[in-house]
Amino acid sequence: MPDTLLPAIELQTGHNPIASVIWLHGLGADGNDFVSVVRELKLPDHLPIRFIFPHAPMRPVSINGGYVMRAWYDLGQGPNGLQSNEQDIRASQIEIEKLIEHEISRGVASDKIILAGFSQGGVIALQTGLRHNKKLNGIMALSTYLGMPDLLEKEASAINKTIPIFMAHGDQDNVINISLGAKSRDALSENGYAIDWHDYPMAHSVCMQEIEDASAWMQKQLV
């Protein structure tokens, strides 16, 4: 019996997609959150892409008083600030790996698959993309951070050591401070990854310039 996949919204920009983008939403949102961005990317007709927007599982979130919401992992208060649940992160990684394999089974080469994510979703995109055992096309990490930086060197996949990474952050972000994003960028650079870093005058959100920059990066990646 095949593995059950996370429920997801799918959108294709053309027939017979040559690439796939698996785009992960943030805490408390769902797969609908970034569907409208596809139109804003203004991708060319000759680049048919399948976008997959999975819904995170429902789970209690400690920092929100145990309220049940869509979350890729639990967040609680630790001795040094917010603490991410490592077991949940690894479980979400497995779920995204299933989606990658599903796209491969549908005829998309692994090196034409981009993982994208915002906030919590970006944590899982980085977690999965840096460790996946098949070559991926790239990672787009928006307003996010590296979930387990101390384990990256030990767990990183050799085949994705040169994976292109687009990172973007708002300099007025009061949810995930840009300093955490910059610290994650530096940790990735120190581990040999090439980072395409962008910051914008915005809060914990996305802006039109960011979308335009992401579109240009995506098109360059998928040529």
Q: Which two tokens stand for residue 102?
A: 């599903």
Q: Is 16 left (phi over 0), alpha (psi -120 to 50) or beta?
A: left
The residues, ordered by sequence, that sit 6+ positions from 173 with a Cβ below 8 Å of its Cβ are 143, 181, 202, 203, 204
Q: Which residues pair with 84 in a beta bridge?
A: 75
Asked whether the beta carbons of 196 and 189 are under 8 A apart, the reply is no
Catalytic residues: 119, 173, 204
| Structure-derived torsion over alpha carbons of residues 146, 151, 73, 185, reported in degrees to the nearest 10 | 0
Which of 28, 73, 40 minimizes the C-alpha distance to 206? 40
